[in-house]
Structure 1
């Protein structure tokens, strides 16, 4: 017995290759659960439906972020991109000290790892993250020879850009498309939805072809297959939205007979699982399936494998800057209720993003709003947001009835509010820093490491001011005024932001302080928000100074890309009040080495949008 125990202690931590499964991810872009197996009667997905019948279908899977780069960053790291300072679309931040991405960990465990398609991470990944595969090489012979393997094959045919390619021959009848209540019942909307479903049907055929080749290679009995989409559909108010429509994704997992012991006893082999699952859980799950150790830095939990964790009570979501538009939202849901917290409620959900406005539905929807032809549910996308939202996903799956003021739902509101606050503190969320300061506050330091240094990031103080600013309570103005002189620039940023959110009266009451800040604060982000407040709601005589600063701040050659975006947005929101600077706006640098290749066109997009609304000479 003693020898037996000694052998157990000396056994390797990682299981041998013979008893470890291969893992295959077949993924697609920009789709929600609009599949027949999820009960969608308009969908035509026979191959995925058949696959689901012999697999586990997860009803409550979330992407954690409603757009690709932050969502994929969460997957690759097993950490919320919001905790890494990587929540902003097409940003790039250093990895924290000691953090390894899951392909590195899987390769160390003896797995051959390939991803010949899309990566799109917001963190600086190691040069050799994936094993090499030829650009046009079929993966199946290679995988046949290199077991165990971890492979990711991605379909791009369902991407947002593909729902608006014209001309198009519709296979789904646009007249029969089911239009959600928040979208206008217009021909453009019907055609976009029908084309979206056409693309899903084409993807379903791609999925069947991958399984066919995979089976022909003799890999079926030894491989666990995952299918999922990377966030909600590419339609407006889905992609980029923290509604359930932007976060809920299909997730179907097939585990072969020989590996059924890796499925928890509370999860059906063939059937629907109600467990809450997020993208943050994918990396720890495949490590669990591989029998490899899960780093303590990972914030997700495994839902499969020998060390699968019990179901978690909540899923968390986040949104920061989307393309050229700045915003800050956080969200949490349990099995039934969904809570959304807006930290910039003065910014409308439908803020103009050039890429989103390429979709016909978006343009038609906005035109109908401008013409006053929408009902309140449809108009909400284009109007300032409430500070908080609460929805019953069971009785209101489209999330059109905000229950925050409902007396019958105060218990759920309180519980989800607290879960949200606990999560912010647990991950030390650095998203409450202006994006410029994620990079400039401690140059070269990963935002995650910065956020975990209380001297560099006094989160309780910053969060308290962000909370008071954005809840829009009328008696908070004195606290905001006090915050204007706080030694930390992020606290001052939120104090000024809170005054901006409250509009003309608050700006008038704090005019002298805002003018002093705009002219002298050492933080360009704080100065820029003060300038926006004065430019939109201040006195006419201050406007030349306001425009002088905003034009300087908008010059990325002087202040970098993130202050530039902040300043250009401020000019855009000034509307015709920025007209005296039209000639100078045209001369603002649009591109240069100060930009990352990942976001090199954002300043250009904002300048174009500004100039559309201003008189030309």
Structure 2
């Protein structure tokens, strides 16, 4: 044997041993469930013996969070390791996919380059153009069994049993399909009406959690049958919170706080800085998952990622000591809002950038659930208590909750003098995150699609100063009106249309306190160069009851030739009609731009408005 052959054989043997040492990794993902439904994490949950078994042989993460409270935004963060507002992947659901720069990849690409077999069964739901290099297979038949012999693998198994759609049952089904979980003992959140519908929904959902746990066990058993369990690290987690009313799509703990258990085989214990068989209160977020998988595979974390690995070799002590998580919520289907959150230890800070928006605003998919429908009906009948009715009221620009004392975020401490230092610190920290990111949502979605979707990172860097300025105008909402008044007046007259845009939003935040600007804002509604600013001006005038703006908003809808712009106008129309002016809107779809009126989400809004006449 010559030297070249010897070196080649040695290299192949060494490569084979190296690959054999790399752990396989499996993600078992259940859809739409927060940690609140499992006894492993919450006293009001049900037993999940298969997940509990994984925890005994792994790590139970008591503080694991999705960064977004809805599927496509959450999964876009998971697959990139990047915060959604930085790359415009945070709207649910993006009808137009964003394009990632050449230096940013979906993380399974890095695994494939390192020799891993990557498979996904089968949900993707990203707001991003997918490269052909992401998965070896992504389908209902995808399995680790299709890899080459001894090839390490990364596999995702999605369980849809607990998805929101499972709660779209009828009243007849409530009668004919009794729950296993007892209705008389089931827990109902204190901000929900304790009715038979809510008790049934809670009980039925807990039954689905039990069924989902069985399906988790089936995946684990398949790994064991294939003699792979001792070589495979298993992540079990929920893909975001939900789905009882006011959870999925909202930055409450019920929308963000997910169950997470990671099984670590004996041979890979050295890759965990956490004790096996124990729980940890270290904060981890979806933005960290990609970096963690790469680190477990001994692949360097790309500098483009926002997340940090919490498992694998050489985990930074700062990550182990992490005690905070960042969240974001924007458009959910046809319903618009802009909310950011920052939780540090037990304190949760929520920043409502458009506080005049009402959480309970009609959303077609959500309101297929009987519990949502009943909640709204009871609100309109005046039969809700103070805690239950807040879902249908305008919000405050800032909210602060002590999660340990108030797990369902009912008692807003933002105005409590005892927490003044805390809220200032959290406000400063959140502002720093939004500016450094930078957060693209300070541009309207239509503008982002038109100007940033082909390269959102470059757009954000180029407009970082502008975004900081728009944030500053938005934060005038946090001042007294007298202190903010002169600045608002200046920005209402700015040559920058987006400065006018954010000044109008801030005026709406102040409501009737800002009525001194009524004539000026009425002029903006009639003469501004930007249709979207005319809409925001009409919003303000309608919110404060200055005049009936139904015809103004309807005319703006007819003028719009942009689908997302028109969808935002329709959001305002439904908000005005259902919660502010409560007047009738007559919309003639034939007067709308053809492409606009054929948009599915716009059709849903129009159907709702027409049915309610």
Q: Give me the TM-score of the superposition, normalised by structure 2.
A: 0.90
User: Contact conserved, 1:439 with 1:447, CA < 8 A, in 2?
Assistant: no
Q: Give me the TM-score of the superposition, normalised by structure 1.
A: 0.89
For residue 425 of structure 1, the aligned residue among 435, 458, 483 is 435
For residue 81 of structure 1, the aligned residue among 81, 84, 95 is 84
1:415, distance to aligned residue in structure 2 (A): 2.1
User: Contact conserved, 1:95 with 1:124, CA < 8 A, in 2?
Assistant: yes
Identify if the C-alpha distance between structure 1 residues 120 and 133 changes in structure 2 by more than 3 Å, giving closer, same or farther. closer
Question: C-alpha distance in 1, partners of 2:549/2:414?
Answer: 39
Alignment of structure 1 residues 600-611 onto 2, 5 Å: 600-611=599-610
For residue 228 of structure 2, the aligned residue among 207, 211, 219 is 219
Residue segments in structure 2 that go unaligned for 5+ positions in a row: 1-13
User: Contact conserved, 1:114 with 1:130, CA < 8 A, in 2?
Assistant: yes
Identify if the C-alpha distance between structure 1 residues 497 and 108 changes in structure 2 by more than 3 Å, giving closer, same or farther. same
For residue 453 of structure 1, the aligned residue among 462, 469, 472 is 462
Alignment of structure 1 residues 41-190 onto 2, 5 Å: 42-91=45-94, 92-132=97-137, 135-136=140-141, 139-143=143-147, 145=149, 147-166=151-170, 167=173, 168-190=177-199
Identify if the C-alpha distance between structure 1 residues 14 and 346 changes in structure 2 by more than 3 Å, giving closer, same or farther. farther
Question: C-alpha distance in 1, partners of 2:44/2:574?
Answer: 43
Identify if the C-alpha distance between structure 1 residues 63 and 478 changes in structure 2 by more than 3 Å, giving closer, same or farther. same
Identify if the C-alpha distance between structure 1 residues 292 and 261 changes in structure 2 by more than 3 Å, giving closer, same or farther. same
Alignment of structure 1 residues 499-578 onto 2, 5 Å: 499-504=507-512, 506-507=514-515, 509-534=516-541, 537=544, 544=551, 547-553=554-560, 558=561, 560-575=562-577
Identify if the C-alpha distance between structure 1 residues 285 and 26 changes in structure 2 by more than 3 Å, giving closer, same or farther. same
User: Contact conserved, 1:78 with 1:283, CA < 8 A, in 2?
Assistant: yes
- Give the number of equivalent residue pairs: 587
Identify if the C-alpha distance between structure 1 residues 594 and 586 changes in structure 2 by more than 3 Å, giving closer, same or farther. closer
2:184 is paired with a residue of what secondary structure?
helix
Question: What does residue 208 of structure 1 align with?
Answer: 217
1:98, distance to aligned residue in structure 2 (A): 1.8
Question: C-alpha distance in 1, partners of 2:288/2:548?
Answer: 55
1:69 is paired with a residue of what secondary structure?
helix
Instruction: Say if 2:26 is the partner of 1:24.
Output: yes
1:501, distance to aligned residue in structure 2 (A): 3.1
Identify if the C-alpha distance between structure 1 residues 546 and 330 changes in structure 2 by more than 3 Å, giving closer, same or farther. closer
User: Contact conserved, 2:597 with 2:603, CA < 8 A, in 1?
Assistant: no
1:55, distance to aligned residue in structure 2 (A): 1.3
Question: What does residue 6 of structure 2 align with?
Answer: none
Alignment of structure 1 residues 461-472 onto 2, 5 Å: 461-469=469-477
Question: C-alpha distance in 1, partners of 2:139/2:546?
Answer: 62
Question: What does residue 484 of structure 1 align with?
Answer: 492
Which string of whole-angstrom CA distances, capped at 9 and with x for unpartnered residues, describes residues 527-586 of structure 1? Answer: 221233345557659865554223323xxxx2x21101111122223429797861x434
Question: What does residue 237 of structure 2 align with?
Answer: 228
Identify if the C-alpha distance between structure 1 residues 133 and 424 changes in structure 2 by more than 3 Å, giving closer, same or farther. closer
2:337 is paired with a residue of what secondary structure?
coil
Which string of whole-angstrom CA distances, capped at 9 and with x for unpartnered residues, describes residues 253-290 of structure 1? Answer: 011111111101xx121110110000000000001001
Identify if the C-alpha distance between structure 1 residues 590 and 71 changes in structure 2 by more than 3 Å, giving closer, same or farther. farther
Question: C-alpha distance in 2, partners of 1:14/1:473?
Answer: 68
1:243, distance to aligned residue in structure 2 (A): 0.9
Identify if the C-alpha distance between structure 1 residues 544 and 405 changes in structure 2 by more than 3 Å, giving closer, same or farther. closer
Identify if the C-alpha distance between structure 1 residues 579 and 369 changes in structure 2 by more than 3 Å, giving closer, same or farther. closer
